[in-house]
Amino acid sequence: MTVLAQPDTTASAPREAAQDARRAQILDAARTCFARSGFRGASMQEICLEAKMSPGGLYRYFPSKEAIIEAIAQDERCGAAEIVQAMRGPGPLLDRLIGCAMGYFGYMRDPGACELMAEISAESLRNSEIGKRFAQIDDSVRDIMREVFEEAIEKGEMPPIEDLDATISMLQAAVDGIALRQINDPDLSLARMEPLLRRLVAGVLGMKA
């Protein structure tokens, strides 16, 4: 993915690929720095060092730390959309929901992913500009959950829910909490979590685990 829209000609394609690689390299380095030092703590200098690039080279791609954070937020939005797709599609509702959550937990085990999420969560609490950049992810996950639940209720796959908004918030909150904790808790391996998560989700939705 590139921010610079270019005609896809044979002449520009290799240049575009090199630019994309450079951009990805910067974003990887920035994630490492943000995970280590926080969004506020990490400096452009630290990101340059981590990316092994000169400031001049880096500024050609991103004019500011804010621009880097926005690019990461954009990538996260795409990543979340992909994971959340597991909620749709065929198969029993509970399997789809658990599959989606397990995909999320797996993703969060990538190096730095969890630290970055904790940073995002702290910024969201502060309701800062950084926090707002990531809030859209949450909203889009919410929309898909609502759609999936409404369809399942209509089909009789789950009982009607009295307070759908609170139910969705509760499940999001619980899954986020588990995603964060599983990283350092040896008792929360993916295999041991799955049957318990199934009971949790079934309990909240009033279904049979």
Return residues touching a copy of itself (CB under 8 A): 36-38, 40-41, 114-115, 118-119, 121-122, 124-127, 163, 165-170, 172-178, 180-185, 187-188, 192-193, 196-197, 199-204, 206, 209
Shortest spacing between CB 168 and a copy of itself, in angstroms: 8
Shortest spacing between CB 118 and a copy of itself, in angstroms: 4
| Long-range interactions of 156-165: CB distance < 8 A, separation 24+ | 157/92, 157/93, 158/93, 158/205, 158/206, 158/207, 159/205, 159/206, 159/207, 161/205, 161/206
Measured from the CB atom, the residue of 1 and 125 that comes closer to a copy of itself is 125
Shortest spacing between CB 178 and a copy of itself, in angstroms: 4
Measured from the CB atom, the residue of 58 and 201 that comes closer to a copy of itself is 201
Shortest spacing between CB 128 and a copy of itself, in angstroms: 11
Measured from the CB atom, the residue of 15 and 199 that comes closer to a copy of itself is 199
Measured from the CB atom, the residue of 8 and 163 that comes closer to a copy of itself is 163
Shortest spacing between CB 171 and a copy of itself, in angstroms: 9
CA 52 to each of CA 20, 39, 65, 112: distance values in angstroms, whole numbers, following the listed order: 16, 19, 16, 19
Based on C-alpha coordinates, what's the Rg of the chain? 20
| Long-range interactions of 20-26: CB distance < 8 A, separation 24+ | 22/57, 22/61, 23/61, 23/71, 25/51, 25/53, 26/51, 26/53, 26/58, 26/61, 26/62, 26/68
Measured from the CB atom, the residue of 58 and 200 that comes closer to a copy of itself is 200
